[in-house]
């Protein structure tokens, strides 16, 4: 958030915000038992400091454990994440995750637990509707549920199967007629079903999440390695953007390849910041005045409906486009949503959707044009295409007296806990 907007709303500093949240939760826990759950810690997400998502959450659990009076804090993760990520933290952090008992080993659903799950859900449904079913698991039968239990599915997968197969039986006569008159449906495309399921998610609130957007772009561009899109033959897409192979918190990744037999190095930065030091730091990377990143051109990905003040426009945006041959790519929800959805399918492919990487790649190849994936996605094509050399018409951000930060302090992008934990890790390293 821009500094002028924070001042206008009288918002506290980040440290004060974090401490205030802890005080509020501590006060609530004096009167009520809080139940706080953390799930999906297995996703391969890392913050700018290189800490895995599970490690950041473990530190947050430590803070909550030491400040709450009563309640339950539950974390769910795969055994490998527990042993390889969380237990690599200092004992003072990971021991708080198991302060009230050793980890519980969760099992996949078997035949009995599938029947119990379906019975429980249907019981609530029939009681709410005032109906009496012929049997507790109607319209399913015990045989098909027991067969389902042999597949070792998760609860979510069982419920999705029930949703897709909830077809109450009809009369024998109609059943015979339907078999004669209607051809059997084509086999279900499991990747397409999973993709459509993720496309139903509302991402409007996530369009300002720089990390989410940049990770979606990175994943989808990496799937295009070896292909030629908009005259650029993609050889590598890497997050190691510095000359010595280091990562950077503001320049998200580089696209390396050939364009008309010439080497290209396209730096991509998703900068949805409202203003301030974060936006300025990202601009400086794209302009790359000192050639620290070895870019042939920089690509700014940002919604055109976001304002940019005249200082940033004159100092960075105009030189980026007119002098450095860079590009401003408009971030549109309808273009980035398929990229976020297919990445979510890939991340959940083993546990939630039981898919393989090959199935997902084949889906992109076959149905990319229909769903704006791969080389058919307008946003990816804009990033790779020849720059237009046009500065878009943008709204002016109100001028503020506070100038952008002169230094690129990466810690500005970390929350108070992360900074404290980094210091702790360094001390214990």
270-280 pLDDT, tens digit each:
999 887 888 99
Percent of the chain with pLDDT over 70: 85
Q: Which residue's structure tokens are 């897409």?
A: 237
Contacts of 197 (CB under 8 A, 6+ apart): 160
CA-based R_g, the chain, Å: 26
Q: Which residue's structure tokens are 């969380």?
A: 86
Helices then strands (H, E): number in the chain? 18, 8
Average pLDDT over residues 309-338: 92
By CB atoms closer than 10 A (0-12, 13-18, 19+), residue 415 is middle
Phi and psi angles of residue 69, each rounded to the nearest 5 degrees, phi first? -90, -35
Q: In the sheet where 232-238 sits, what is the strand order?
A: 228-229, 232-238, 253-259, 262-270, 297-302, 327-330
pLDDT score of 48 more than 70: no
Please give the structure tokens belonging to residue 108. 């996949």
Task: Give CA torsion, residues 30, 31, 33, 38, to 10 deg.
Answer: -60
Higher pLDDT, 254 or 63: 254
pLDDT of the residue at 426: 37
Q: Which residues lie across from 228 on neighbouring strands?
A: 233
pLDDT score of 381 more than 60: yes
Q: Which residues lie across from 73 on neighbouring strands?
A: 36
- The answer to whether the peptide bond before residue 350 is cis (omega within 30 degrees of 0) is no
Q: Which residues lie across from 262 on neighbouring strands?
A: 259
Name the pTM for this structure: 0.56
Domain coordinates in residue numbering, the chain: 3-97, 111-185, 204-398
Q: Which residues lie across from 371 on neighbouring strands?
A: none
Higher pLDDT, 73 or 107: 73
Work out the pLDDT band at 422, boundaries 50, 70, 90. Answer: very low
Q: What is the pLDDT of residues 209-264, one digit of tens each?
A: 999 999 999 999 999 999 999 999 999 999 999 878 788 989 999 999 999 889 99
- Residue 333 three-state SS: helix
Higher pLDDT, 383 or 66: 383
- Residue 283 three-state SS: helix
Work out the pLDDT band at 29, boundaries 50, 70, 90. Answer: confident
pLDDT of the residue at 167: 77
Contacts of 126 (CB under 8 A, 6+ apart): 132, 133
Average pLDDT over residues 331-336: 95
| pLDDT, mean over the chain | 82
Higher pLDDT, 217 or 35: 217
């Amino acid at each position: 958030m821009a500094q002028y907007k924070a001042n206008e709303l009288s918002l506290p500093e980040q440290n004060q915000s974090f401490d205030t949240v802890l005080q509020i939760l501590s006060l609530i826990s004096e009167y009520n038992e809080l139940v706080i759950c953390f799930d999906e810690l297995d996703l391969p997400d890392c913050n700018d400091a290189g800490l895995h998502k599970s490690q950041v959450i473990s530190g947050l659990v430590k803070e909550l454990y030491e400040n709450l009076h009563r309640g339950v804090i539950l974390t769910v993760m795969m055994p490998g994440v527990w042993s390889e990520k969380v237990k690599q933290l200092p004992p003072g952090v990971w021991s708080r995750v198991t302060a009230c008992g050793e980890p519980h080993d969760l099992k996949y659903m078997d035949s009995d637990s599938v029947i119990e799950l379906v019975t429980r859900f249907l019981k609530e449904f029939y009681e709410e509707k005032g109906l009496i079913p012929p049997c507790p698991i109607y319209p399913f039968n015990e045989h098909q549920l027991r067969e389902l239990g042999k597949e070792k599915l998760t609860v979510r997968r069982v419920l999705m199967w029930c949703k897709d197969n909830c077809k109450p039986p009809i009369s024998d006569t109609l059943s015979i007629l339907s078999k004669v008159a209607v051809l059997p449906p084509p086999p279900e495309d499991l990747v397409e079903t999973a993709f459509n399921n993720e496309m139903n998610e509302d991402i409007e609130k996530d369009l300002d999440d720089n990390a989410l957007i940049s990770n979606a772009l990175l994943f989808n561009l990496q799937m295009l390695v070896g292909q030629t899109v908009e005259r650029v033959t993609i050889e590598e897409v890497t997050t190691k953007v510095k000359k010595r192979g280091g990562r950077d918190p503001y320049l998200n990744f580089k696209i390396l390849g050939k364009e008309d037999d010439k080497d290209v190095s396209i730096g991509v930065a998703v900068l949805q910041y409202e203003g301030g030091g974060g936006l300025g730091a990202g601009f400086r990377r794209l302009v790359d005045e000192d050639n620290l990143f070895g870019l042939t051109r920089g690509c700014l990905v940002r919604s055109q409906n976001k304002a940019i003040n005249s200082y940033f426009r004159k100092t960075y945006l105009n030189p980026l486009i007119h002098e450095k041959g860079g590009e401003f790519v408009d971030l549109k929800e309808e273009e980035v949503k398929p990229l976020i959805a297919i990445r979510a399918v890939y991340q959940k492919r083993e546990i939630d959707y039981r898919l393989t990487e090959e199935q997902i790649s084949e889906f992109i190849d076959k149905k990319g044009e229909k769903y704006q994936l791969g080389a058919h996605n307008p946003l990816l094509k804009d990033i790779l295409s020849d720059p237009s050399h046009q500065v878009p018409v943008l709204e002016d951000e109100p001028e503020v007296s506070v100038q952008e930060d002169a230094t690129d302090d990466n810690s500005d992008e970390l929350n108070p806990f992360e900074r404290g934990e980094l210091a702790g890790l360094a001390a214990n390293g």
